[in-house]
Homo-oligomer: A and B are copies of this chain.
Amino acid sequence: MSATIKDIARKVGVAPSTVSRVLSNKSKYYTSETAEKVKAAARELGYKKNQAAVELVKKQSNVIAAVVSSVKTNFAGQIIDGIQSEASKHGYNLIVVYSNSASAEEQRKALLTVIERPVMGILLLSIALSDDNLNMLKESDIPYCFLSMGFDDDRPFVSSDDMEIGYEATKFLIDKGHRRIGLAAIDKYPYTGRLRLAGYKKALSEVNIVPEDSWIQSGDYSYTAGESAMKAYGKDTELTGIVAASDMAAIGALNQARSLGLHVPDDVSIISIDGTEMCQIVQPQLTSVSQDFYKMGVVGVQRIEESVNSKTKSQNNQQLIPVHIYERDSTK
């Protein structure tokens, strides 16, 4: 029931096209006098652009969509922050839709909500798409980019170098003098876990160590996975250092270690992967291999922008963001 461009046109006594041009700042098609009158009328009538109409005719909008696997990943916020700030720098709007990655049907619904309107690009945050849904995405011809996870195939993504993460975390402990080092709560088979595991093994092999099977406790990056891993290592573990798959896993391991009567870092050192603010609110504060999630968001938006501008597929569409180690109190 709200005012349209035609109402304004009638009120001012000009054509709708003129109003449109004034309101979208297509300069040089009207006098500043007309412009003023139009703007005044628009204000007065409380005019709101109907984006549906705009998008219908322009077949392009200035909104970027982010599909997030779940509200629970505690770094999603940082990525979104990055996206938001870069997007708003370029005048794009951001809408986020959440999808429980467990269900392909939920994924599909989330994806459709964004595909069915002319968004300028889609960013996927740590979401594992089913084949059908990935196909749907590809066929939509909307630029997209995965964030914080990598792939074997040629899908565009920006993430950390997971091999480097595994390597650097392990190397850090090795340099501190540790030799018997565990890897906790990591998912061994998917791309990310596989690379981190490879990095871990590489670092160990450089000092001629082959990890025993029991050193590697796989899991799903969760708090409880961290707990279970620590439980499996046990009170009398031979390990002196642990690389935890995520902050939450590290905290799980940390708390479980305390329950077992182990002191961190005196009895066992823990280094965490991710480096969210969680690391700083637990005690002892967790040493971490920190990913630059904010930057991932920023770069993600830039990739979308490139895809939009140069219709030709850029060749370098898989980008790695460097990580940094922050030494805190959980290692020695």
Binding site for B on A (CB under 8 A): 1-2, 46, 48-53, 55-56, 63, 71-72, 76-78, 80-81, 84, 88, 93-98, 106, 109-110, 112-113, 115-118, 139-141, 223, 248, 251-252, 255, 258, 278, 281-283
Q: What is the minimal beta-carbon distance from A105 to any residue of chain B, in angstroms?
A: 10
Which B residue's beta carbon lies closest to that of A248?
Answer: B281
B-chain residues with CB within 8 Å of residue A118 when the two chains form the complex: 50, 52
The DSSP consensus for interface residues of chain A is: helix
Contact of B93 with A95 in the complex, beta carbons under 8 Å: no
Closest 8 CB pairs of A and B: A71-B77, A52-B55, A96-B96, A93-B113, A51-B116, A52-B56, A95-B95, A51-B117
B-chain residues with CB within 8 Å of residue A1 when the two chains form the complex: 141
Which B residue's beta carbon lies closest to that of A281?
Answer: B251
Give the docked Cα–Cα distance between A64 and B88 (Å): 22
Contact of B52 with A117 in the complex, beta carbons under 8 Å: yes
Give the docked Cα–Cα distance between A251 and B251 (Å): 15
Give the docked Cα–Cα distance between A115 and B46 (Å): 12
Contact of B71 with A95 in the complex, beta carbons under 8 Å: no
Contact of A109 with B88 in the complex, beta carbons under 8 Å: yes
Contact of A106 with B88 in the complex, beta carbons under 8 Å: yes
Name A140's contact: one of B2, B109, B117, B223 (CB within 8 Å).
Answer: B2
Contact of B115 with A48 in the complex, beta carbons under 8 Å: yes
Contact of B50 with A116 in the complex, beta carbons under 8 Å: yes
B-chain residues with CB within 8 Å of residue A2 when the two chains form the complex: 140-141
Which B residue's beta carbon lies closest to that of A62?
Answer: B113
